[in-house]
């Protein structure tokens, strides 16, 4: 037997769901909160454009998730097709897959991208299938990958500011990715020579809150850039497509986010309590905190609702409902609610009373 309770209003907080517009000349840009995915501002966020070397974010993700980071890769004739930005590896040189990813992300090595693709999939075409499958999994609905590097004279990669922000949001959950893109300088010694790679991400050296990112450029795509930054528990992503003054624009957008938003804890796993828990004598709980970025004037206008189901028989950690967070009439987050059985000491008098009632 079960009984569905009426909606319980748990707490209040709220804001309108819209993309705030600020004056940026970029053709396409987005400022996104990396944890919640809230879009803080943007312009033409779903417009498809050539993306140049920010393609390599996906290449790095596929390589990291291959679980072959320690593979030793023997460089072959694949690199002879590479042009533009390279790390200048040589045929018969041996380098770990991990170091190729460092060369890919710090120095934007097109030769590194080609070798990664051929080592893991046998060809750029097969590797692009992995990239597109991952894009579909992440909800990058306006993205198409045809190569692992972003060069666009023979094949072309198209995406949007929003999709690249989604990709970066996911990538930043990977420990290896965060470590690599946050590295300012990396040394590599192979059977041929020693490399010293300095990260091309200028904001790592000039903007103290920067945690990573990737730049790109082709004549057709113009300058593309992704950067991430963190301050006071607020983690931001900026993506610009076709923006020549990209470093300054990114710093401006990160500063805007940090100045206008604060990460508020909407749900606390350590202090979770519903207004009415009479369905259960045992404790209801959630497994994770939930934060959301808000402006000061918005913090008193968010509300949440809890929908709880009564089970007469249940196990410890049984899911008994959900808590939903709303912004006006838009649901932005749903989190499961569980019940934790409280161990009670056996009491013969309580047992006798329960026996006759």
User: What are the catalytic residues?
Assistant: 53, 56, 108
Rounded CA separation 36/257 (Å): 14
Residue 105: CA atoms inside 13 Å, Cβ hemisphere, count? 28
Strand ranges for the chain from DSSP E? 2-4, 8-13, 28-33, 39-43, 49-50, 72-74, 94-96, 158-159, 185-189, 194-198, 210-218, 222-231, 234-241, 262-267, 283-285, 290-294, 302-311, 318-327, 330-340
From the centroid of its chain, how far is CA 268?
22
Can you read off the two tokens belonging to residue 258?
């940090």
Can you read off the two tokens belonging to residue 264?
């508020």
Asked whether 68 and 115 are in contact (CB, 8 A), the reply is no
């Amino acid at each position: 037997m079960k009984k569905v309770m009426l909606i319980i209003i748990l707490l209040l907080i709220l804001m309108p769901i819209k993309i705030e517009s600020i004056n940026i000349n970029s053709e396409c840009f987005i400022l996104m909160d990396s944890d919640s995915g809230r879009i803080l501002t943007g312009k033409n966020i779903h417009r498809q454009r050539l993306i140049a070397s920010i393609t390599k974010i996906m290449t790095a993700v596929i390589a990291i998730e291959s679980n072959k980071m320690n593979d030793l890769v023997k460089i072959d004739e694949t690199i002879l097709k590479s042009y533009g930005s390279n790390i200048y590896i040589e045929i018969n040189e041996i380098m770990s897959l991990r170091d190729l990813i460092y060369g890919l992300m710090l120095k934007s090595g097109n030769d590194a991208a080609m070798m990664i693709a051929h080592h893991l999939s046998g060809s750029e075409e097969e590797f692009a299938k992995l990239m597109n499958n991952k894009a579909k999994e992440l909800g990058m609905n306006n993205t198409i990958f045809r190569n692992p590097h972003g060069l666009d004279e023979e094949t072309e990669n198209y995406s949007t500011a929003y999709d690249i922000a989604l990709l970066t949001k996911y990538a930043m959950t990977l420990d290896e990715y965060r470590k690599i893109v946050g590295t300012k300088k990396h040394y590599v010694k192979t059977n041929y020579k020693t490399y010293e790679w300095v990260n091309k991400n200028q904001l790592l050296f000039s903007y103290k809150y920067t945690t990573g990112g990737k730049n790109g450029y082709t004549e057709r795509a113009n300058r593309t850039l992704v950067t991430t930054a963190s301050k006071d528990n607020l983690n931001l992503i900026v993506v610009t497509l076709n923006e020549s003054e990209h470093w300054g624009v990114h710093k401006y957008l990160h500063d805007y986010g940090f100045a206008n938003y604060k990460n508020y804890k909407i749900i606390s796993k350590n202090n979770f309590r519903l207004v009415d828990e009479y369905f259960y004598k045992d404790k209801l709980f959630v497994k994770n905190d939930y934060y959301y970025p808000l402006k000061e004037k918005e913090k008193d206008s968010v509300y949440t609702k809890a929908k709880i189901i009564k089970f007469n028989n249940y196990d410890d950690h049984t899911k008994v409902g959900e808590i939903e967070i709303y912004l006006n009439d838009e649901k932005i987050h749903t989190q499961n609610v569980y019940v934790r059985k409280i161990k009670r000491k056996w009491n013969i008098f309580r047992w006798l009373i329960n026996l006759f009632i």
